[in-house]
């Protein structure tokens, strides 16, 4: 069987206002116990390998199996961190051991009167058979921001 080689590109911006101070939202990303509580957690997910190294050049790994479904693997490298202002990462995703995408994501934290404005901007490149999955990345990221909101509440 020959694999058709192709790429798909997808970019999106998601903005959420959370009714808590910037330091609280920042901690949800910068502190391991906080991040583990909401990122890759949930009843539909059986967690696997986990690594957390929050510093420029550090790597995060989050792997797990969806019940009755595939194993997802996320490996990110922090390329820029400005305390309580921004986080920039490059990250790769695998599904059942097959490399599906590489992305660049920026996360911005802004104090507003009501709490924190959080902005996630991402550009992803999706490989071969995963080219149709590009729109699902935005939906998945939107879902993570909803989980984050419940964690912060």
- For residues 79 and 96, what is the distance between their CA atoms, to the nearest angstrom? 26
3-state secondary structure of 134: helix
Give the C-alpha distances (Å, rounded to integers) separating 75 from 6, 25, 52, 53: 22, 22, 10, 11
Can you give the residue ranges of every domain in the chain? 13-152
- The CA-based diameter of the chain, rounded to the nearest angstrom, is 57
List the one residue out of 19, 5, 3, 89 whose CA is nearest residue 54: 89
Query: φ, ψ for residue 84 (rounded to 5)?
Result: 60, 20
At residue 3, the pLDDT reads 64
CATH class of domain segment(s) 13-152: alpha beta
DSSP 4: P
Mean pLDDT, 10 residues at a time, over the chain (153 residues)?
A: 76 97 98 89 71 97 84 95 98 93 97 98 88 78 92 94
């Amino acid at each position: 069987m020959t694999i058709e080689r192709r790429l798909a590109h997808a970019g999106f911006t998601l903005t959420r206002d959370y009714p808590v101070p910037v330091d609280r939202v920042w901690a949800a990303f910068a502190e391991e116990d906080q991040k583990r509580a909401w990122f890759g957690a949930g009843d539909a997910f059986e967690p696997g390998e986990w690594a957390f190294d929050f510093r420029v050049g550090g790597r995060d790994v989050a792997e797990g199996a969806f019940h009755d479904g595939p194993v997802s693997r996320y490996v990110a490298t922090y390329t820029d961190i400005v305390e309580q202002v921004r986080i920039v990462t490059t990250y790769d995703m695998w599904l059942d051991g097959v490399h599906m995408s590489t992305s660049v994501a920026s996360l911005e934290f802004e104090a507003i009167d009501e709490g924190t404005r959080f902005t996630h901007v991402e550009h992803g490149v999706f490989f071969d058979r995963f080219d149709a999955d590009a729109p699902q990345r935005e939906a998945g990221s939107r879902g993570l921001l909803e989980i984050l909101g419940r964690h912060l509440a």
